[in-house]
Amino acid sequence: MSRATETASFLGIISVIYFLSFFGIIPLPQIVREEILPVLPWWALVSFGSYSLGNIGYHLYRFRDCDDAYHELMEEIQSAKDDLRTKGVSVD
């Protein structure tokens, strides 16, 4: 199973359980069905958005400069330029 399939099946199961609870097929206390279940999707959406923004901010804060990758890329560019010059292409 791929990760996308696992995620889709998990979300499908959670959705089925939510709708069965929301429409009263799975018995829950009245206060849960009337006050918690209607706002649960919005809570999940806001929580996911907060997590995503926090994760992006953290990784931007901890962003590392990749000196080794920079030097490797510059060497590859130089070797490509040299290869093109041997074939008679003007590079500059």
Q: Is 66 within a domain? A: yes
Answer whether 0.75 is exceeded by the pTM: no
Average confidence score pLDDT of the chain: 91
Burial class (CB within 10 angstroms; exposed 0-12, middle 13-18, buried 19+) of 37: middle
Q: Is 92 within a domain? A: no
Q: Is 48 within a domain? A: yes
Please state, for a pLDDT cut of 90, what percent of the chain lies above it: 70
pLDDT at residue 69 tops 90: no
How far is the C-alpha of 64 from the C-alpha of 66, rounded, in Å? Answer: 6
Burial class (CB within 10 angstroms; exposed 0-12, middle 13-18, buried 19+) of 74: exposed
Residue 83: what pLDDT? Answer: 92
Number of domains in the chain: 1
Nearest CA to 22 out of 37, 11, 43, 36 is that of 37
Domain that holds residue 65: 3-86
Residue 49: what pLDDT? Answer: 97
